[in-house]
Amino acid sequence: MSLRVRLALVIGFFLFYSTASAQMGDEVRNIFFDTISGEYQATPIGVDDMRYIGNRYITHDDSVLMDYATRIVRSDLDFYADFELIPIDSFYLKTYEINELTVLGWRRLGADILVRLEAEFPGDKLRVRWRLFDTVRQQQFSKGVLERTKSQWRVLGHEIANEMVHTLTGEEGIFLTKVVYCREVGGGKELFLADYDGANERQLTSTGSINISPFFSPDRDEIYFTSYMGGDPQLYRINIGNREIKKVAAYSGIVAAPAVSPDGNKIACVLTKDGNSEIYVLDLSGRIIKRLTRHRSIDTAPTWSPDGRMIAFSSDRTGSPQIYLMDSDGLNVRRLTYQGGYNDSPIWSSRGERITFVSRTKYGRFDLASIDTSGHDYRILTEVGHNENPHFSPDGKHIVFSSTRLGPKDIFTMDITGRNQRRLTRVGKCSNPNWGPIRK
């Protein structure tokens, strides 16, 4: 058995184990659910190989390009929570002695929806016409055209997938979003930026210091983060374009755990200037707008509700960390979690009704769990390795997190049901991810 096959088997086993073993009936109810419409149901979708429809001789490079772009579309739709990708079945093709599938053929393979892609190469460009078919009625119901220079085949693939999502669900696709995370470099931690699928990774900071807790601004190309670059951990922001770093807030003690409000105008964060970690709201220039907590225990990890009216946070006021909710002015503090002895790192779904967090479960493992905002329906989403720092995708259907499930600590994504798990980094020593907004 080649190394690659064995590796694939190992990874496959882990992914299977992490999702499937949870199904087999622990005391905790399983992970398959849809917060939008009740039961989870992914639509089976097929994507045909991209075909050249021009009338010239097609070069090898161009046919490779078509293959690459198709792979991006398939991989995006496969990952997306609402879809289940039906692969082309080569055995089926062989049995019927055919080279390609008809709409009816896709129906027989189980696809409800079929995507057909047709390529042309005007000048140095790749132009793709996409068509969507309903395989039950065997009818085309939507189409469109997109064009990019050939070198941007990756972007084009994501744009096609975004249009599929928009056409089929009415929502904005997330396939052109970015993920930021920390990686150990030398004795410090630097911020790295990558596409949502892990491609095009680049190093953002080179401060040689510890940089942690990155958080995207929802409306500017900026990332807020805590850095030790000036000695004490204080709040900074970096412009993603020119990589210019500015100090935002400096207070005695630490300035940590920044969370920018959904309207982009305020930052909830932790200050310890009072001799204890308390949650404050700052304006974008670092001035204090309001102190929200007054308790001699640890209060940290604030996260805004999507309407900006509430904040969830973690506190060890009962002796171990648990998740609490409060109004965004600090009033009406109430405890949300009672399960297990350690619940921390809450993150509010952009869909509003659920909070995902880190929960210490059996055998002292740290898993991702979620609960609805009324404190009901606690579910464990992961079952392997230590899993930390969950953050939602802007559409609230997917989660990025760090995990040690394959040994080294890497960045992973999955959908909110715990399915479609994907490894973004492969070098280890990666942590603290945050998912960027959809840019218009």
The CA distance from 46 to 49, in Å, is 10
Please, which residue, 144 or 253, has the CB nearer to other proteins?
Answer: 253
Please, which residue, 86 or 368, has the CB nearer to other proteins?
Answer: 368
**Are the C-beta atoms of 83 and 111 separated by less than 8 Å?**
no
Q: From start to end of 265-394, where are the E strands? A: 266-271, 278-283, 288-291, 299-304, 310-315, 322-327, 334-335, 343-348, 354-360, 366-372, 379-380, 387-392
Contacts 24+ apart (CB under 8 A), 237-242: 238/191, 238/204, 238/205, 240/178, 240/193, 240/204
Please, which residue, 75 or 213, has the CB nearer to other proteins?
Answer: 213
To other proteins, the closest distance from the beta carbon of 430 in angstroms equals 12
To other proteins, the closest distance from the beta carbon of 170 in angstroms equals 35
Please, which residue, 160 or 298, has the CB nearer to other proteins?
Answer: 298
- 325, β-bridge pairs: 312, 334
Within 10 A of 133 (CB to CB), how many other CB atoms are there?
Answer: 23
Please, which residue, 359 or 413, has the CB nearer to other proteins?
Answer: 359
**Are the C-beta atoms of 49 and 100 separated by less than 8 Å?**
yes
Please, which residue, 107 or 391, has the CB nearer to other proteins?
Answer: 391
To other proteins, the closest distance from the beta carbon of 232 in angstroms equals 6
> Which amino acid makes up residue 101?
L
> Helix (H, G, I), strand (E, B), or coil: what is residue 3?
helix
Please, which residue, 87 or 408, has the CB nearer to other proteins?
Answer: 408
Q: Is 71 exposed, middle or buried (0-12, 13-18, 19+ CB in 10 A)?
A: middle
Contact residues: other proteins, CB under 8 A: 189, 210, 212-213, 226, 228, 231-233, 253-254, 256-257, 270, 272, 275-277, 298-301, 314, 316, 320-321, 342, 344-345, 358, 364, 366, 386, 388-389, 431-432
Sign of the CA dihedral with 418 first, then 385, 177, and 324 last: positive
CA proximity to 98, closest of 88, 110, 85: 88
Using CA atoms of 16, 17, 22, 23 in order, give the dihedral in degrees to the nearest 10.
Answer: 50
To other proteins, the closest distance from the beta carbon of 13 in angstroms equals 21
Please, which residue, 345 or 413, has the CB nearer to other proteins?
Answer: 345
Please, which residue, 76 or 383, has the CB nearer to other proteins?
Answer: 383
To other proteins, the closest distance from the beta carbon of 200 in angstroms equals 25
To other proteins, the closest distance from the beta carbon of 313 in angstroms equals 10
To other proteins, the closest distance from the beta carbon of 259 in angstroms equals 10
Please, which residue, 35 or 211, has the CB nearer to other proteins?
Answer: 211
To other proteins, the closest distance from the beta carbon of 286 in angstroms equals 18
3-state helix, strand, coil in the chain (%, to 5): 20, 40, 45
How far CA 34 is from CA of 16, 25, 96, 396, in Å, comes to 20, 19, 38, 11
Please, which residue, 170 or 187, has the CB nearer to other proteins?
Answer: 187
**Are the C-beta atoms of 257 and 226 separated by less than 8 Å?**
yes
To other proteins, the closest distance from the beta carbon of 426 in angstroms equals 19
To other proteins, the closest distance from the beta carbon of 339 in angstroms equals 16
To other proteins, the closest distance from the beta carbon of 257 in angstroms equals 4
Please, which residue, 237 or 419, has the CB nearer to other proteins?
Answer: 237
To other proteins, the closest distance from the beta carbon of 347 in angstroms equals 11
Q: Which residue has the tokens 């882990």?
A: 14
The CA distance from 400 to 382, in Å, is 12
Number of helices followed by number of strands (H, E) in the chain = 5, 30
The CA distance from 71 to 285, in Å, is 44
Contacts of 63 (CB under 8 A, 6+ apart): 52
The CA distance from 361 to 364, in Å, is 6
